[in-house]
Homo-oligomer: A and B are copies of this chain.
Amino acid sequence: MTADLLFQVQQLHARVAHLLDEGRFDEWPECFSEDGVYVVQSRENHARGLPLALIHLEGRAMLKDRVFGATDTIYHHPYSQRHLIGTPLLLGHDGSTLHVDTPYLVLRTPRDRLPEVLSVGRYVDRLVHDGSRWRIGSRHCLYDNDLVPNSLIYPI
């Protein structure tokens, strides 16, 4: 494990967050592998091995469908998101697969209101290298706050 590897992971994380925070949702599924998995689950359910998750998407088609729902069909009060992402803790590496664990904080700012914590927790990521770049093979967003202010509309 080297500084170069951390650099590559951090740039991937930064890009994913940037796309979500700037509302470029259409580009978000491309950060995942074709069969990429995206799960949002409470810390407690994950710890107990319970399957219930707030969001569970498998494959880019489902990711795209979610984005379509969030941007075109769900009625909601407008808000913007901002991700602060911690240093990825590098846990395992076997060439084309990398396991990292990363704290995150997502702030939500509704129009004309003060910012609030939307979600805080950690990303448990399996990253895969396809020969040219790293993509997310699976991401489990394990949130600490069971109580979510309002709803999660956009991915976190």
Contact = CB atoms under 8 A, between A and B. Distances in A.
B3 A144 contact: no
Interface of A: 1-4, 6-7, 10-11, 13-15, 17-18, 21, 43, 80, 82-90, 101, 103, 105, 107, 109, 111-117, 120-122, 144-147, 149
A80 B43 contact: yes
B82 A147 contact: no
In the complex, the count of this chain's copies comes to 3
26 contacts: A3-B4, A3-B6, A3-B7, A6-B7, A11-B87, A11-B90, A14-B86, A14-B88, A17-B86, A17-B103, A21-B122, A43-B80, A82-B121, A84-B86, A84-B103, A85-B103, A107-B117, A107-B120, A109-B120, A109-B145, A111-B146, A112-B147, A114-B147, A115-B117, A115-B144, A116-B117
Contacts of A149: 114
A2 B7 contact: yes
